[in-house]
Amino acid sequence: MRTLVTENHLLSALCALPDWSRSANHIHGTFTFPSFRHAIAFVNRVADLSEEIDHHPEIEVHYKSVRLSLTTHSAGGLTMLDIEAARRISQIHLD
């Protein structure tokens, strides 16, 4: 899971993850909520997932929006672990 993904695989995966976009060696997702409290609840759920899969995003909270950035530092770029984390984070947002 910590092997760099190919460009084609990454582009295909991002097509299925409309909340996410790429910038260099990171993927970013921005999620908006009805209140600050909802945004923080989402961050807490992302934190639980991150501990579960041992892969931690950079997290920015801006009142009712949360911006997450994923990359696999040890691999020097994007891996299946980033794609899977993004997929699961997007699912948390939908729940």
Domains and CATH numbers, the chain: 7-94 (3.30.1360.20)
pTM for this one? 0.93
Residue ranges with strand state E in the chain: 20-23, 26-32, 58-62, 65-70
pLDDT tens digits for range 20-64: 999 999 999 999 999 999 999 999 999 999 999 999 999 999 999
The answer to whether the beta carbons of residues 66 and 40 sit under 8 Å apart is: no
